[in-house]
Amino acid sequence: MLRKTKRLPVIVMLALITVFLGSLSGCGDSADPLGIGIIQFHDASTGVIITSITVQPGGTVTLVVRVRTLRSDGTTWVPVIGEKVTFTLLTPGNGGGLTVVNDRTAGNGQAMAVFTAGNNSTADSVRATTGSGATASIAITKTGGLIGARISTLVPAPTSVAANQTSVVTATVTDGATPANPILGEPVTFTIPTNQSGACFTDAASACVASITVNTDAGGRAVALYRGGTSDPGSSVSDTVRAALANGSSNAVAITRNATVYSITVGALPTTVDGVGGGSSVVTATVTATAGTTTSSVSGATVVFTTAGGGVSPGSATTDGSGKAVTTFSASPGTAGATAAPSRRASRSTALHTGTPW
């Protein structure tokens, strides 16, 4: 009992020390327990701290980071050994890739990854993160000519469409020669990375698909059929269509999905009916939709007819292929008129005059 009693303060003291150290390392890990280490990108040859680097399209470059922390004197930087480093490509859509060489810092505090650039001139960015949460980013720009096959042009026709209308998007693939030669049989993948309208591509089975791959013909052309979506129909929105090759070459173009404005016109035949004997008139509502400069008839819309007097039958009708919906108005003494409205769209009225026939 006496020996156990003497050890108790020591055990309590060790527990207090453990709790104290644990509170200090809340933001750290085993390699950087206090979480005060920093991470920076360095030039692989000179060791100079860098925030940007250049590479040729399709080329590779070694990315080096160094993790350091301050000694207890507060002035001397020393490498952090065994620190976990995660490399993240922030621009995966540009055709580039990362291969990690070592994700734990070596004796000099360094970790490395090899970046392979896409075969295009689009800038990239890579972020490195330590186990304790410190981060550093590097901007990667591309200089020089493309290598091998490349998408030389990407053209939509037309450049703006209405909802459910289509645009023919043509990508032309050529080699690096001067003058350039078309490449036959090159697979081109079309996607819509920015899709505000809910657009898609139409495949060979007329299905709506998010992406499609088409091989080039003898002229180096690959064609995709873009179909404007129906999201937010009252607004004009822009979608981005991207075409890419397996080697990273890519090109992108914007297509505008125009806003759709619905309208309705109403006519009656005859416009004057017998308000005493109970005459009738055929009322026709015509529904149209305007997107950009194109106006078309709307089929399948439900039109609701109401009257200020008398009656209509049927009370609602569906527009036909010409955008027309028809009802019959029956007069009662003092009838003022009839109104037609396609649901959620617009309304118009036509006056039907009642009187004594000649």
Task: Determine the pLDDT at residue 212.
Answer: 98
Whether the CA torsion 213, 218, 219, 225 is positive or negative: it is negative
344: tokens are 């959620």
Task: Determine the pLDDT at residue 275.
Answer: 62
C-alpha count within 13 angstroms, C-beta hemisphere, residue 278: 2
What's the DSSP call for residue 49? B
Write the single-letter amino acid at 148.
Answer: G
21: tokens are 């150290």
Closest Cα to residue 246, out of 130, 119, 83? 119
CA distances from 317 to 192, 250, 281, 296 (A): 38, 50, 16, 19
Tell me which of 142, 162, 182 is where a domain ends.
Answer: 142
Residues 243 and 154 both lie in one domain: yes
Residues 207 and 273 both lie in one domain: no
Task: Determine the pLDDT at residue 93.
Answer: 81
Task: Determine the pLDDT at residue 75.
Answer: 82
Domain-located, residue 16? no
Residues 129 and 49 both lie in one domain: yes
Domain region containing 106 = 38-142
Domain-located, residue 29? no
Per-block mean pLDDT, blocks of 10 residues, the chain (358 long): 44 33 41 80 92 91 94 86 95 88 92 90 94 95 85 95 94 86 93 94 96 95 97 89 91 92 89 72 91 84 86 92 92 57 48 38
Asked if residue 142 lies in contact with residue 117, where contact means CB atoms within 8 angstroms, the answer is: yes
Task: Determine the pLDDT at residue 20.
Answer: 33
Element of type H or E holding 337: strand 337-342
Domain-located, residue 206? yes
Structural domain count of the chain: 3
Task: Determine the pLDDT at residue 6.
Answer: 45
Task: Determine the pLDDT at residue 231.
Answer: 92
In whole angstroms, what is the distance from residue 338 CA to residue 48 CA?
Answer: 82
In whole angstroms, what is the distance from residue 224 CA to residue 240 CA?
Answer: 13
Task: Determine the pLDDT at residue 209.
Answer: 97
What pTM does this model have? 0.54
Residues 127 and 188 both lie in one domain: no
